[in-house]
Amino acid sequence: MIELRLKPSEATALGFEVKERNDLGNRKYSLTDEQLETIKEIRLIKSKKPKKRKFVETILKKDKKGNIISSTEKLQSKPITVPENFEVIKISTSKTTGQQWVQYAPKKEDITIESSEINFDSIISKYIKPVEVEVQKKNNNSDFDSLTYSDVHIGMDTNSRGNSMYSTLWNYEEVIKASNEIISKTLCNQESKLLIIDELGDLLDGYNGKTTRGGHDLPQNMTNEEVFDCGLKFKMNILDNLINHYEEIRFNNICNDNHAGSFGYFVNSAFKSLAEQKYSNVTVNNYRDFISHYFVNDICFVITHGKDDSTLKFGFKPQLDPKQIEKIDQYIKHNNIYGKAKKIIFKKGDSHQTLFDMAGSDDFYYYNYPALSPSSQWVQNNFKKGRRGFVLESFYGLENTIKPFFL
């Protein structure tokens, strides 16, 4: 037999006559092993029942005369355990019962993605295999052809308020339609087996609805993801439809500009990996300096967007002035271009104007290229509607033809 103190309810459950409590509390009873096990089960069941929370604090609100007009009672509760790497984001409390609900979520971390961390080559190589290109035979009349477009501004909403003076739709479908027009006109005017394609910046309108340079708000009609997809589709559509007509295609992409900035570089970096792994006769150069240059035979092309991504206060204007001539001249001298080139052509975008100055300088030509995109509402209201398009050129030695095409 085992002596054990029992509560009156426990004694009743075992069939004992309940003894009155004494100074020591509940009275002892002699239990068999079987009765002891029964008590253990009863106590185990009771221990699993949720305990009622006790009111541990009362806050009284009184009027000026000291009369109680309201009271708030706080309930005792066990501390809430928040899982590791989670944080409390919201706490709700019932006004009637004092019951609380706590919401928590994974902690947010500030993640900065550097372009060097994205290895597009390794990603794309898993899915893309080289494609054999069979080039269609065509007369080789010129040394090389050149296609130049600028300021595509993918993602721009030209009529966000519905009151644009010259409302022009500029969405995913219209961007791809413009690329098809580029393809058609390029093939109709092909004069060579080598094609140079210059993209002079602002491929994308911005990131998160702002310019990447100044953070100015921009009306947008695409998400960042849609802009990325559209930009890559735009470029690959041009390449895929021209590749069978040229023995070699070279892309020169300006990635230092005032709208697209690093976001534009991400698109062009993905394009470079995709294009060069897919086609052996394609070269893609992504330029991140404000001014860059390249040679084709004896001609040097000095290329820029016209505004940079961070520091330049005043960009290159559509028309040459002495300060601009000096700046370009210094770049040419610093890179010893005068001693290497028989002809120098300075190419820029940004101004959304089509101007070809062949007399403003004795040392170089100064070419402004049109925007492929329609004018934004801000440009329409502050300047004019403008004409959008692209330019095709064919080079014969040091001479060249210029063919602007407007959309």
Tens-place pLDDT, residues 149-207: 999 999 999 887 777 777 788 999 999 999 999 999 999 999 999 999 999 999 998 88
**DSSP H helices in 301-387:** 322-334, 377-382
Exposure b/e, 73-104, CB count within 10 A at least 16 = b: eebeeeeeeeeeeeeeeeeeeeeeeeeeeeee
pLDDT higher than threshold 70 for residue 107: no
pLDDT at 96: 62
Q: Using pLDDT thresholds of 50, 70 and 90, give the confidence band for residue 77.
A: low
Residue 252, classified by CB atoms within 10 Å of its CB into exposed (0-12), middle (13-18) or buried (19+), is: buried
Comparing CA positions, the residue from 290, 321, 286 lying closest to residue 303 is: 290
Domain ranges of the chain: 2-48, 55-106, 127-406
On average, the pLDDT of the chain sits at: 85
Query: Selecting from 3.30.420, 1.20.144, 3.30.310, 3.60.21, what CATH number does the domain 127-406 have?
Result: 3.60.21
135 or 30, which is more confident: 30
Tens-place pLDDT, residues 205-262: 888 877 766 667 788 889 999 999 999 999 999 999 999 999 999 999 999 998 888 8
pLDDT at 111: 44
**DSSP H helices in 189-280:** 224-242, 261-278
- Contact indicator for 154, 234 with CB cutoff of 8 Å: yes
Could you give the angle at the alpha carbon of 108 between the alpha carbons of 102 and 111, nearest 5°? Answer: 175
pLDDT higher than threshold 60 for residue 56: no
Tokens 């459950």: give the residue: 13
Residue type, 21: R
* CB count in 10 Å sphere of residue 307: 23
Contacts of 282 (CB under 8 A, 6+ apart): 239, 243, 248, 249, 250, 251, 275, 276
Question: Distance between alpha carbon 67 and the CA centroid of its chain, in Å?
Answer: 61
pLDDT higher than threshold 90 for residue 48: no
Percent of the chain residues topping a pLDDT of 90: 50
Q: Using pLDDT thresholds of 50, 70 and 90, give the confidence band for residue 112.
A: very low
Tens-place pLDDT, residues 78-104: 666 666 767 776 777 766 666 666 676
Task: Flag the least confident range among 72-86, 122-136, 213-227, 320-334.
Answer: 72-86
pLDDT higher than threshold 60 for residue 386: yes
| Separation CA 353–CA 351 (nearest Å) | 5
Tens-place pLDDT, residues 278-319: 999 999 999 999 999 999 999 999 999 999 888 777 889 999
pLDDT at 258: 86
Coil/strand/helix, residue 269: helix
| Separation CA 58–CA 377 (nearest Å) | 61
70 or 170, which is more confident: 170
